Amino acid sequence: MLRILNEWYIFVNEYISMKKLIFRKLYSDILLTFLVFCFVIGTIVWILQAVNYLDFVTQDGHGLKTYFLFSIYNFPKIINRILPFIFFLAIFYTLITYEQKNELVIFWSNGISKIKFSRMIINFALFLTIFQILLSSIFSPMFQNKARLSLKNSNIDYFSALIKNGKFVNIVDGLTIFIKSKNVNGNYENIFIDDSSKVNNRTIYAKNGLIIQTNNSKIFKLYNGKVINKDKEQINIFEFEQIDFNLSNFKSNTILVPKIQETSTINLLKCLNNNFLKKIINILVPKNNKCENDLKKKILYEELLKRLYKPLYIPIISIICCYLIILPKSNYNYKVYVKIIFLIVILLLIISESALRYSTNSYYSLLIYFTLPWLFSTIAYFKLKKNLNNA
């Protein structure tokens, strides 16, 4: 009797281990596909955006190091934006591949019901939902803020390359430079500088000039010219043989003030007109008086919803993808059915984006936006459960 019980115990353990093994393989396949798609699609989008960031070099005077750092720091933002779509592709591709290779039969033959299989997929989606909430609320704004700081802390170290013959250069605040020509030795000729960065305006004309760059400064040496100082009451003119015009004191025209997407979630929550919530946050985090008074409520609420609530659409995507296991590939309508599932998820992604834009127009629209994920997930899950039980 003890021998029989021992054999049954071994059998049950092996059976449970077999279930764990095949689910482990399922999760690893989904995760691997997800990471590959993240890398490939994320890199493509990052490269396309990085081309637009070249303006920091070609127009705003920042160097290649600043351009590279700014581009790298914006990569988490790209992953955060495309993550739901990437997750959909990973689940969709994995289930289609399993069906084509008859690997789903392994689950059914081991006594795993389709509804339990679906729940395991949904559980995986819940973990990813938590990950995206952390990514969108903490890491993405943090790295975007670092990108903005990289611009703020940089100087116009690519200035000399922007100067072209007969072109006005106004990449910095309060400074416009016009150079008629540049000779083969790298010296500039017929230089006009309009400096309105201070209280008194100053106009400088020089016959020749040369930009000298050191580790800590950038000097424009000007030769044989005139300086016209203008204030409200008088104009002073004097000639010079040589003067040094310091370019290091000027800042780029690039926007350096952090945008709402680059502001931490804690600071955004402190901007809410909710005294109870403010008290809780102030207990957890020291007071921060840097909340912008001109921050519009609509933009504030929309940003918080995008970070903290929009990821709830990820479990809905997993539920709809589980409809793929209802019909086998031998079914005549299988290919059409797969296309319909694909279009439904794409439509859901569009709804999640468009609904967010209108969610803060009124209290009713906000209520509808809060209701939609729970309504969609409830209907989709019970419909899936009914179809799987009838399959």
Q: Residue 169 and residue 178: Cα distance in Å, rounded?
A: 6
CA trace torsion 348, 354, 357, 360 (10° rounding): -60
Confidence of residue 128 (pLDDT cuts 50, 70, 90): very high
* Amino acid, single-letter form, for residue 57: V
Q: What is the DSSP string of 308-322?
A: HTGGGHHHHHHHHHG
pLDDT-based confidence at residue 316 (cuts at 50, 70, 90): very high
Instruction: Name the β-bridge partners of 221.
Output: 210, 244
Give whole-number Cα distances, 247 to 56, 67, 160, 254, in Å: 17, 20, 11, 16
Pairing type for strands 175-182 and 188-195 reads antiparallel
pLDDT band at 10 (very low <50, low <70, confident <90, very high): very low
Kindly list the domain boundaries of the chain, sorted by start residue: 2-154+259-268+294-390, 159-246
What gap in Å lies between CA 77 and CA 143, rounded to an integer?
8
Please answer whether residues 83 and 349 qualify as being in contact, where contact means their C-beta atoms are separated by less than 8 angstroms.
no
Q: Region 193-218: what's the mean pLDDT? A: 73
- 38-77 pLDDT per residue, tens: 999 999 998 888 777 766 555 555 566 777 777 888 888 8
Nearest to 298 by CA among 349, 364, 350, 366: 366
192: left (phi over 0), alpha (psi -120 to 50) or beta: beta
The confidence score (pLDDT) of residue 90 equals 95
pLDDT given at position 280: 42
State the first-to-last Cα distance of the chain, in angstroms, to the nearest integer: 40
What pLDDT shows up at residue 145?
80
Assess whether pLDDT exceeds 90 at residue 375.
Answer: yes
Task: Compute CA distances 353 → 34, 341, 348, 375, whole Å.
Answer: 21, 19, 9, 17
Are the C-beta atoms of residues 315 and 339 closer than 8 Å to each other? no
Tokens at 73, concatenated: 């720091």
Highest mean pLDDT among 19-28, 90-99, 252-261: 90-99
